[in-house]
């Protein structure tokens, strides 16, 4: 991933585009930002779905029913409180 200086570098680049560029450059940048946001959400939802499928497959292969695992999970969570 990026280091701590990456965010500052991107902020400076964005400011330079707005400072030295024209406003005609702004709509493609907004479209790019929207595309990136959709891509991040897509990847996030996909990764959560894959984790849920793997968890359910592991529970099914181990012979534990989902009701039993739900009970064990909830009882252990509430016993901590």
Q: Among 9, 21, 39, 4, which residue's Cα sits nearest to residue 29?
A: 21
**Domain around 59:** 26-80
Does some domain include residue 18? no
Does some domain include residue 2? no
More confident: 8 or 33:
33
Does some domain include residue 62? yes
Q: Does residue 36 contact residue 30 with C-beta atoms inside 8 Å?
A: no
Domain count, the chain: 1
Does some domain include residue 3? no
Segment holding 39, helix H or strand E: helix 26-62
Band of residue 17 on the pLDDT scale cut at 50, 70, 90: low
Q: Is the pTM of this model over 0.85?
A: no
**pLDDT value at residue 51:** 93
Mean pLDDT of the 43-48 span? 93
């Amino acid at each position: 991933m990026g280091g701590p200086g990456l965010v500052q570098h991107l902020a400076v680049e964005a400011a330079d585009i707005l400072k030295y560029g024209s406003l005609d450059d702004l709509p493609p940048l907004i479209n790019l930002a929207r595309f990136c946001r959709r891509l991040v959400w897509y990847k996030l939802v996909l990764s959560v779905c894959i984790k849920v499928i793997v968890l359910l497959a592991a529970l099914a292969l181990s012979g534990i029913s989902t009701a039993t695992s739900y009970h064990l999970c909830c009882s252990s969570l509430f016993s901590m409180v």
